[in-house]
A and B are shown apart, each in its own frame.
Chain A
Amino acid sequence: MGVSYQAIGWNRQKKQYDWLIFGFCCIYLSTFILVTAIFNPEYTFETVLIRSTSTLALLILHVILCIGPLSRINRKFLSLLYNRRHLGVTMFVLAATHGIFSIIHFHALSNVNPLVSLFTSNVNYNSAGGFPFQALGFFALVIFFLMAITSHDFWLHNLSPKTWKTLHMFVYGAYFLVLMHVMLGAIQYERHPAFVLLIALGAAAVLTLHLVAGTREVKKDNSLFDPAVNGFVSVCDVNEIEDNRAKIFCVNSERIAVYRFGDTLYAIHNVCKHQGGPLGEGKIIDGCITCPWHGYQYLPNNGQSPPPFKERVSTYDVRIEGNRVWLNPSPFPEGSERPGTVISQPSN
């Protein structure tokens, strides 16, 4: 969270993370090149570079796609989510290196424009085995390019979170294009079953994780509560909410986070204004509800980001009767001051 735009918002954690990514990429690429030089010395450097960057980009793409559902399933993965954009840009740089070198290597040696050659040299669109797979990779690269150049918060604010998120959801389409690029390309030539198995395992992991995380989300959305009494719904026991943490309730299709801050309960809308992060999965740091995704902060009593920031979320009324927490799902306008409710007796 920053009051002004910086080229890259590096902090200590992000620097460590980026060095880790850089180190891993260097080790992977140098190992790939060394192993190929030993076992396939006849391969040219361009070929080795094309192959090493493509396999690394594919590996990182799988990791990126697994981070989202993993962080829904287990909070330990939230730190990966916090840094996911840098991983995405790294993946794009590798994919672009693969794409540019491939176009030069395979299409730039004739008198036809390389991009024209890319789309016209093979037009076997009715054949699976001979399909012009390079076009699939090209379109995936275009999507990654658009995502990489708009990855900065400047574009998030200027395009609006809704447009930005819609654009970035194209990564799922790009993932399918990449899989088909590999299956109809390299897999047709490198026929070892291990390669097909690796692709299938990677896809199975991505699909399974999204399925598991999605099923859990649907369960949350379908939680049933007793009918409202005077507009309030009984949601949980007060002991179920840890200090500085929240529980999330989906009432009338909206998710609301009920936070405990000291001896007071507050309720705010669960969706962060930045990228729609789940505020109820964060915690209170320095007196502010802190989004687990990118650290955006809101005051628990009014849903406003502390000055000079201007983000605001809706607030809700919450009260305690006995040990039960009652929540009114009717939202107050974003940034409205609400007093919360004091836990009058020690609940433990």
Chain B
Amino acid sequence: MTSGLRKKHARVWTVLLFLVPAGIVTGWLAIPANPITEPAAVDKTAALPEILYSLQKKNYTVNLRSDNKRSSLQLEWISKSGLSSPSALIYLASGPSASVTSNSLIGRIEGKGTFYFPLKNDLSTIPGFILYDIIHHQVIDRVNF
């Protein structure tokens, strides 16, 4: 290595010595307090027997299910075809909020198929849901029964 090249390397790595830790710390601090995508809380058990509410959309069907005693609540999401946003998240729509991601995360939809997500058993109000594209930071759809 020539002396000029050694000097170039020294300058580059001196800059990186500060930039890299600063970048890592910035990224670490930017991690949101509310999880954007906790591992999808997929309920792998069978669908609960009773459909309380149902909504048909072009590409998917959404059912709100419960057991006979209404002690458990479950969201059933049937994607008939792949979504145009492949990594879509479902958030509970809990009224006007500063950002979608500050709402409670229900789970993630990965492509075609049927997904079940357990919900807190509170039927005092009929829950609504927001389908959110985390890559483009856009609301894909809102589900209100």
Contact = CB atoms under 8 A, between A and B. Distances in A.
Contacts of B84: 109-110
Interface string B109-145: 0110101000000000000000000111110000000
Contacts of A125: none
A42 B8 contact: no
Interface string A99-124: 00000011001100000000001101
B21 A105 contact: no
Interface string A286-320: 00000000000000000000000000000000000
Interface in A228-273: 253-255, 271
Contact of A106 (B23, B42, B87): B87
A196 to B, nearest CB: 5
Contacts of A129: 30-32
A188 B87 CA distance: 14
Interface stretch (A14-22, A203-211, A321-329): A203-211
Contacts of B31: 129, 187-188, 191, 196
A41 B72 CA distance: 24
A207 B32 contact: no
Contact of B30 (A122, A188, A190): A188
Interface stretch (A77-85, A145-153, A175-183): A175-183
Given A40-B39, A124-B137, A179 B20 contact: yes
A172 interface: yes
Contact of A130 (B13, B27, B113, B137): B137
Contacts, number: 122
A217 B5 CA distance: 12
A255 B1 CA distance: 9
A6 interface: no
A200 interface: yes
Contacts of B24: 179, 183, 196, 199-200, 203
Contact of A183 (B5, B27, B42, B82): B27
A148 B47 CA distance: 51
Nearest to B109: A42
Contacts of A172: 12-13, 16
Contacts of A217: 6
Contacts of B2: 271, 276
Contacts of A130: 137
B20 A276 contact: no
Contact of A109 (B5, B23, B29, B82): B82
Interface residues of A, number: 52
Contact of A207 (B6, B13, B28, B136): B13
Contact of B135 (A121, A218, A278): A121
A187 B27 contact: yes
Q: Interface size bucket, B side? A: 35 or more
B88 to A, nearest CB: 11
B52 interface: no
A9 B20 CA distance: 35
B104 interface: no
B19 interface: yes
B27 A128 contact: yes
Nearest to B112: A44
Contact of A179 (B6, B23, B32, B38): B23
Given A109-B83, A176-B23, A180-B27, 14 more contacts: A42-B42, A106-B87, A165-B5, A172-B16, A183-B26, A183-B27, A189-B36, A189-B134, A196-B27, A196-B31, A199-B24, A200-B24, A203-B20, A214-B13
Interface of A: 40, 42-44, 46-47, 105-106, 109-110, 121-122, 124, 128-131, 134, 165-166, 169, 172, 175-176, 179-180, 182-184, 187-191, 196, 199-200, 203, 207, 210-211, 214, 217-218, 221, 253-255, 271, 276-278
Interface of B: 1-3, 5-6, 8-10, 12-13, 16-17, 19-21, 23-24, 26-32, 35-40, 42, 82-87, 110-111, 113, 115, 134-138
